Structure 1
Amino acid sequence: MASRPRSSSTRSSRLRRALLAALVTASVAVPVAGAARPAAVPAPAPAVLAPLRAATPAALDERYAATRDDIRAAERMAADDGDRRRAAVLRTMADPVRHFLSFDGRDGGRTAEVFGDLSRAERIAVLVPGSDTSLDRYERFRAGAVALQQELGGRAAVVAWLGYETPGTVSPEVLTPGRADGAAPQLDTFVGELSAARPAARTTVLCHSYGSVVCALAASGLRVADIVLYGSPGTGADDVAALHTRATVWAGRGGNDWIADVPHTTLQLPFVTVGLGADPVSKKFGARIFDAGDGGHSDYLRPGSVSLENIARIVNGQTPEAPRA
Structure 2
Amino acid sequence: MADGQGGQGGQGGREKLARRVHSWRRALLATLITAAVVVPLSAAARPEIPSPPPATLPTPTAATVDEIYAANSANAAEAARAAAAHGDTHRAAADRGLAAPARHLLTFDGRGPGRATEVFGDLARADHVAVLVPGSDTSLDTYDRFRATAVALRRQLTATAPHGTRTAVVAWLGYRTPDTVSTTVLTTSRADEAAPHLRTLIRRLRGVVGRDTTVSLVCHSYGTVVCARAAAHLDIADLALVGSPGTGADTVSALRTSARVWAARGKDDWIAEVPHVRSDVFGVTVGFGTDPLSPAFGAHVFAAGEGGHSDYFRPGSVSLTNLARIVLGDTAEVTRA
Question: Counterpart of 2:168?
Answer: 157
Report SS of the residue matched to 1:224: coil
Take 1:291 and 1:145, find their aligned partners in 2: how far apart are those partners?
20
Take 1:196 and 1:83, find their aligned partners in 2: how far apart are those partners?
37
Take 1:239 and 1:16, find their aligned partners in 2: how far apart are those partners?
23
> Structure 1 residue 46 and structure 2 residue 54: aligned?
yes
Question: Counterpart of 2:6?
Answer: none
Q: CA deviation at 1:270?
A: 1.7
Q: CA deviation at 1:196?
A: 2.6
Take 2:221 and 2:43, find their aligned partners in 1: how far apart are those partners?
21
**Match for 1:162: what amino acid?**
L
Q: CA deviation at 1:221?
A: 2.5
Question: Counterpart of 1:112?
Answer: 117
Take 1:146 and 1:224, find their aligned partners in 2: how far apart are those partners?
21
Take 2:222 and 2:34, find their aligned partners in 1: how far apart are those partners?
16
Change in Cα spacing, 1:20 to 1:51, as seen in structure 2 (3 Å) is farther
Take 1:197 and 1:115, find their aligned partners in 2: how far apart are those partners?
14
Question: Counterpart of 1:321?
Answer: 335
Kept in 1: contact 2:40–2:183 (CA 8 A): no
Report SS of the residue matched to 2:155: helix
Mapping of 1:133-148 within 5 angstroms?
133-148=138-153
**Match for 1:184: what amino acid?**
A
1:40-94 superposed Cα distances (whole Å, 9 cap, x missing partner): 3222211232321x224xx221110010111012111101111111111111111
Question: Counterpart of 2:17?
Answer: none
> Structure 1 residue 130 and structure 2 residue 145: aligned?
no
**Match for 2:104: what amino acid?**
H
Take 2:42 and 2:204, find their aligned partners in 1: how far apart are those partners?
39
Q: CA deviation at 1:16?
A: 5.7
**Match for 2:175: what amino acid?**
Y
Q: Paired residue for 2:289, among 259, 277, 288?
A: 277
> Structure 1 residue 25 and structure 2 residue 39: aligned?
no
Report SS of the residue matched to 1:20: helix
Structure 1, gaps ≥5 residues long: 1-11
* Deviates most, 162-171 or 23-32: 23-32
Kept in 2: contact 1:133–1:166 (CA 8 A): yes
Question: Counterpart of 1:88?
Answer: 93
Report SS of the residue matched to 2:231: helix
Question: Counterpart of 1:9?
Answer: none
Question: Counterpart of 2:103?
Answer: 98
Take 2:43 and 2:87, find their aligned partners in 1: how far apart are those partners?
22
Kept in 2: contact 1:151–1:312 (CA 8 A): yes
Structure 2, gaps ≥5 residues long: 1-21, 159-164
TM-score normalised according to structure 2 size: 0.87
Report how many aligned residue pairs link the two structures: 306
Question: Counterpart of 2:234?
Answer: 222
Question: Counterpart of 2:5?
Answer: none
Q: Paired residue for 2:204, among 188, 193, 208?
A: 193
Q: CA deviation at 1:26?
A: 4.6
**Match for 2:116: what amino acid?**
T
Kept in 2: contact 1:16–1:265 (CA 8 A): no
Report SS of the residue matched to 1:192: helix
Kept in 2: contact 1:152–1:316 (CA 8 A): yes
Take 1:241 and 1:13, find their aligned partners in 2: how far apart are those partners?
31
**Match for 1:42: what amino acid?**
P
> Structure 1 residue 168 and structure 2 residue 184: aligned?
no
TM-score normalised according to structure 1 size: 0.90
Give % identity. 55
